[in-house]
């Protein structure tokens, strides 16, 4: 088995990449995951913790940090959320707790789009992250996240609202995004939704 380590993070990572077990307890910012009788403390976002069913089996993507004073586990329901967490850690001065705090401020897509267009407003709401740190995150990650959200046409106008509407109707984010990207960005949100539904065959 080939294991590929990410080079963007300044923290040493162990071999744990994913854990599957039973949710034993849920706390304010972490959960205890029972795996064969061993309880693992896993830090997670508020949104993740609210979704977890106690005493039921779940699977989490894991980011493990090993330092002289700590050996911590951070759990994520999606690989996209974990990847964004790692991107935040690549920014000088941003640690795991601050990165988790950023993820607590807004949905992942909102954060990605905000950084891509140079808006640090969500970041300044995080305890421990001042205006300068927020601006540093935006400057460091703006170009990378512009690629994630594809282009400015996608994140401008009513495209985000159209995407949200389509996903609420049951379409996957990737499926809806592909269709929206073929539309004229100057259209209203309502017009985008109508055209997108026609292309999706509904």
With beta carbons less than 8 A apart as the criterion, state whether 53 and 23 touch.
yes
Distance, in Å, from the CA atom of 119 to the CA atom of 86, rounded to the nearest integer, reads 20
CA distance 193 to 163: 8
Specify which residues 20 forms β-bridges with: 59
Structural domains of the chain in order of their starting residue, each with its CATH number: 18-76 (2.40.50.140), 79-150 (1.10.150.20), 153-199 (1.10.8)
pLDDT digit string (tens) for 14-66?
678 999 999 999 999 999 999 999 999 999 999 999 999 999 999 999 999 98
CA distance 46 to 103: 9
Express each pLDDT in 106-162 by its tens digit. 888 888 888 887 888 878 878 778 888 888 999 999 877 766 665 444 444 456 677
Rounded to 10 deg, the angle between the 108-116 and 96-105 helix axes is: 100
């Amino acid at each position: 088995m080939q294991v590929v380590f990410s080079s963007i993070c300044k923290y040493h990572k162990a071999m744990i990449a994913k854990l599957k077990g039973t949710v034993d307890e849920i706390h304010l910012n972490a959960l205890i995951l029972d795996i064969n009788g061993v309880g693992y403390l896993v830090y997670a976002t508020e949104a993740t913790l609210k979704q977890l069913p106690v005493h039921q089996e779940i699977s989490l993507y894991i980011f493990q940090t090993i330092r002289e004073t700590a050996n911590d586990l951070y759990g994520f329901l999606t690989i996209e959320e974990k990847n964004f967490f790692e991107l935040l850690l690549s920014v000088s001065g941003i640690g795991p707790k601050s990165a988790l705090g950023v993820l607590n401020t807004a949905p992942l897509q909102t954060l990605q789009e905000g950084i891509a267009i140079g808006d640090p407003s969500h970041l300044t709401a995080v305890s421990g992250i001042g205006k300068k740190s927020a601006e540093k995150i935006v400057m460091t990650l703006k170009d990378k996240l512009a690629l994630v959200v594809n282009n400015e046409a996608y994140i401008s106008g009513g495209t985000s609202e159209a995407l949200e509407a389509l996903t609420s109707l049951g379409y996957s984010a990737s499926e809806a995004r592909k269709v929206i990207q073929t539309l004229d960005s100057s259209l209203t949100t309502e017009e985008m939704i109508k055209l997108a539904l026609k292309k999706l065959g509904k």
